[in-house]
A and B are shown apart, each in its own frame.
Chain A
Amino acid sequence: EPEVTQTPSHQVTQMGQEVILRCVPISNHLYFYWYRQILGQKVEFLVSFYNNEISEKSEIFDDQFSVERPDGSNFTLKIRSTKLEDSAMYFCASRVRGESYEQYFGPGTRLTVT
């Protein structure tokens, strides 16, 4: 069964460093998403991406964040200058085009900013 994959599973970085989190969505999916979950809190929407542009973004997704689909398979989230409060699990999700809105999530990348 096809699934969303994410790399790395765990990323440790120092405050102020740039990080890139990578995702490979399900191959025939056209909508892509990033969510985050701070430890002990709920899953929060960050950004949605379709047709090579951002569809919607949350207040969390400020100028420090960017997304890119550099080729036909990868979808990346970049944080330019990490802060301690960026420490969280980051989940990528994707959805097939059509009437159904269900999203399929990856296993997540745990980002630890020290």
Chain B
Amino acid sequence: DAKTTQPPSMDCAEGRAANLPCNHSTISGNEYVYWYRQIHSQGPQYIIHGLKNNETNEMASLIITEDRKSSTLILPHATLRDTAVYYCIVETSYDKVIFGPGTSLSVIP
């Protein structure tokens, strides 16, 4: 099952950076860290993934610690549309995504 720990909920002010933490202390050397989100009643949405290096795309940045035991997803300028449940997932299998409870992010006006 999911090998990650995330806070159950977080708030963020609109326009500010949202920093979502994830612990994955048992991660092995070839396992990637993936982030997905699910906006209410919609299908999960892939955000970003990384192995060792920090990654950035048009949606977010992913900061992975040097020991790879934790990571942070950063939404640089959160908007109300970023209100969602965010899932940090560690996987090596191409066969399935195992969703944990995730972090419910509320972006507040």
Contacts and interface: CB of A to CB of B under 8 A. Distances in A.
Contact of A102 (B34, B93, B98): B34
Interface residues of A, number: 25
Q: Which secondary structure dominates chain B's binding surface?
A: loop
Given A33-B96, A48-B95, A101-B32, A42 B101 contact: yes
Q: How large is the interface on B (under 10, 10 to 19, 20 to 34, 35 or more residues)?
A: 20 to 34
B43 A91 contact: yes
Contacts, number: 57
Main secondary structure of the interface of A (DSSP, over half): strand
Most chain A beta carbons < 10 A, residue from B43, B45, B46, B102:
B43
Given A31-B94, A48-B96, A105 B43 contact: yes
A107 B91 CA distance: 23
Interface in B10-58: 32, 34, 38, 41-46, 49
Interface of A: 4, 31, 33, 35, 42-45, 48, 55-56, 58, 89, 91, 93, 95, 100-108
